[in-house]
Amino acid sequence: MYSSLKPVPFEKATGKVAYNMTNDYLFHIVLQENEQALIGLIAALLHLDPASIIKAEVKNPVKTGHIITDKNYHLDILVLFNDNTIINLEMQVKDLKNWVPRSISYLCREFNSLDHGDDYSDVKPVYQIGFLDYTLFPKYPEFYATYRMSNLRNHHVYSDSFTLSVVELNHINLATKEDKAYGIDKWAALFKATTWEEIRMLSEKDPYIEMAANSIYSSVTDPKILEILRVRDEEIRGDIHRRERLLKQDKQIAEQDKQIAEQDKQIAEQDKQIAEQDKQIAEQEEELKQKDAEIEKLRAQLESLKKDK
């Protein structure tokens, strides 16, 4: 049951945030419902002046207040801005070990958006940007990494119309001066914020983050949206728990396989030793046979000598 009391204004909200924007449903709703916040985020990520983005249209909106599942909704945000550029934004807190092929697939899908008969020169630039709450490449942790096709020898970029970026929310501490100059670290901190005090502090000097903050507040104080956030959070936590359990089982199976392989190795070594012992015994038996034959030969000679006398 939800309280019928009217929530306090955002400016006076204190304490823990029920859900933050690492919940992909809240991520989608906030940026879908607040175009200016979306423009501010895109401008930061692409190093643009927000004033240069006239329009940002979400092409795959979700119905606010409707129950969502992974089967009937993709919670990535497909945006067309200024009518000439496509950007796909996705929040992902579960490490499914498939982000690289998945992100490339999304990028290629949107890049291949020409209708039959269109000229290839009319293809729109496409950006795929994932917000991950884990480290994609453990050997190369980085807060904001961008990838493009380039020449392996001289690093010349093949095309700037096909760009893939990753924001690692667990590595805000690795933000560069450039990342900070465009406020990307503040957006990441907003997505991870767990208290209203943190959110208000982040929104004090950035009007776009302030708009996003107000949308977060209006969303998490809406009983219908709050229920969906709860269900979605349980799904995410359940998926993470199931995956951790499967990984634990896989680890146990791998350890058992390792132990069995070690036992098989020991058995094989024992079989080898037994085979070597059997060989030695067989050689010793052969030597004994030869000695017995020599002894019999000597006996026969002795008997012959006795008869001759």
Full-model pTM: 0.76
By DSSP bridging, strand 126-132 and strand 162-168 are parallel
Judged against a pLDDT cut of 80, whether residue 183 lies above it is answered with yes
- Collapsing DSSP states into helix, strand and coil, what is residue 231? helix
239 inside domain? no
117 inside domain? yes
The whole-angstrom separation of Cα 215 and Cα 37 is: 9
Judged against a pLDDT cut of 70, whether residue 71 lies above it is answered with no
Element (H, E) at 24: helix 24-33
40 inside domain? yes
- Collapsing DSSP states into helix, strand and coil, what is residue 148? strand
251 inside domain? no
pLDDT bin (cut points 50, 70, 90) of residue 30 is very high
275 inside domain? no
Count of structural domains, the chain: 1
4: which 2 tokens? 């019928």
22: DSSP letter: T
Look up the domain containing 124 and give its range. 10-221
Judged against a pLDDT cut of 80, whether residue 239 lies above it is answered with no
248 inside domain? no
Query: Tens digit of pLDDT for each residue in 144-175?
Result: 999 999 999 999 999 989 999 999 999 999 99
Q: What is the pLDDT of residue 242?
A: 72
Query: Nearest 5°: CA angle at 102, between 43 and 64?
Result: 60
Judged against a pLDDT cut of 70, whether residue 1 lies above it is answered with no
Q: Return the amino acid letter for 73.
A: Y
Chain CA centroid to CA 177, Å: 25
299 inside domain? no
